Structure 1
Amino acid sequence: MKLDLDEMLQKVQAGRWELRAIDWDAPGADRVRPEQREQLRDFMCDLVWIEHVGARGFAALADKAPDPRLRAIYRCFEREEEQHARAELALMRRWGMVRPGEIPDANINVRLVVAWLDRHADDIDFATLTCVIAMLEVALDGALVKFLLDEVHDPVCHAVFAHINRDEARHLAVDFHVMEQNGMRPQTRATLRMLARALHPTAALGLLVYVPLLSRMRDNLVRMGFDEERLYRAIRRFDQVGSRSPHTRNSVAYRAIRAHGRMVVRRDHPYHYFGDAMVALTRHIPPRLLGPLPAWAQALSERRA
């Protein structure tokens, strides 16, 4: 998936939008039915924090990017993810899910991911982090956001996500371009480096916090009436789009994340016993043991910039 980085950087910069341009008091907030509100609150809270985690991921990619244009693009993406989180938080306020100035608590699985990222995001190799972010964005854009727009008929919500979807489309275009470029490089050294990192205890810990986060988000969606097959179809898209390029298929990082995706989409796979067990186990972790949120996670606010 060949991409002109100069052109993409210009598109990203030209596509910047501002929260203050949205009429947050426009009619339509009452289209969120009372019986939807409580279920939507958990969904939106997850969404807000996942966007914020995505911003941290792009910040780490920017630090590792081998090209200054790509570095600039990732810095823009970092700001966009923070913008998405603030926009979704503003929607929560519009719908009466949070009070003005209130920041919803992150669930324990998000807290675990935040804590792990704060310590180890810079240790993840560039190719693997690119693939993980692409997988999450495919799922977010291809299933979660579409489900939200099907369920919620507030025109302000649709206006906000029109902006977010345009941003995410650019993110995915860059993600798949970079995965292809990574696959063009000799893979022997990349394989050895990835294996060395995989054997490190921090990698195992990362897996232990990542897996239950996905399973918990799926459970929250199913409680809202979401057909989890829609999520699995979105995850299959990562496989389908990535596999179109022989260079992407050559990437050991892509193959590893693709293998994980293939386990996820099979509901009868033993992987799900592990994921469900980890969700149950992590529910018993007292949040106070994790300490305060790191500074980058505390930056979440509703400022309309």
Structure 2
Amino acid sequence: MTLTKVTHRIGVPSDVESVYRIVADVSLWPLYFPPTVRAERQSWDGREEHIRIWALADGELRTWQSRRLLDPGRHRVEFHQSHPSPPVAEMGGAWTVEEHDDGCTVVLDHHYRAVDDDPAHLARIERAVDHNSTAELENLRRAVLRAGQEAGLLLEFTDTETVKGPLGEVYAFLYDAAKWPERLDHVAALDLREDTEGLQYMRMDTKAPDGSVHTTVSGRVCERDRRIVYKQAVLPPVLQAHNGEWLFEETAPGTVTVTARHQVILSPEGIAALPEPPSSLDAARAAVRQALGGNSRATMARARAFVEAGSSAAPAPPAS
């Protein structure tokens, strides 16, 4: 099979350690890299790690596992996919952070092969690698440059709801997002694809309180009856990043606690461009908290009403 090699690079006016920290710590990737929906370290021996990535690529959500060798002294991370997902037959490469007098250069190398050397597969991989590499490098640069502002721009919060009913039914309401337009007042339209079970690609039109409609594109990783992790890839202009989770826990027989968790980075430029921008960053944080939290609370309240109504309508079990 033919091996294709490609290199992408970007200059960053910062020290190498700040850049390498983000490259090396895969847990930060869903926050800083738009294509990455979820990233987990599965094993680590101090130099070699095995990770699993879920990421949006070429209009779909895909997952793979990689082996990475970390070399802090050389500011280099080598990677190789141990379980590539078709149409990829082989994928590997390296991140290298090179120091200069005025900052550093980040070099991202890839080498890959397509299944059966199929030209259509190869073109699809080429598009995904080029798009994601360019996006990752630019967002890495932006993340490093805004490091001093991040404490004010990063917003994390949770809301919870208690539901009397079966865990599976509560999970199903949040999982079956295709039915949200008929179930949730703030969802105007929703298109959902799930080519692989548990991996969802979703385009949603959400109605704001002022009547405006915002379109978002998200990837969702669904673990049955446990959690749904999502990442918005197309965002409202006031946000630079938005990650979230729906968590499900049976806290007592027939009682389920649902938690909505949000992690957001605000966009100062997007906020300033609003027709009536908030008076301060604190006001912007409060407005985003209310808007996102309000939608989550409305969704959980509707799930509670839906499940509890269904449970109360169910026939009683026969007496033993």
TM-score, structure 2 length as denominator?
0.24
- State the structure with bigger RCO (CA 8 A, min sep 6), 1 or 2: 1
TM-score, structure 1 length as denominator?
0.25
Asked which structure has the greater CA Rg, the reply is 2
Give 1 or 2: higher helix fraction.
Answer: 1
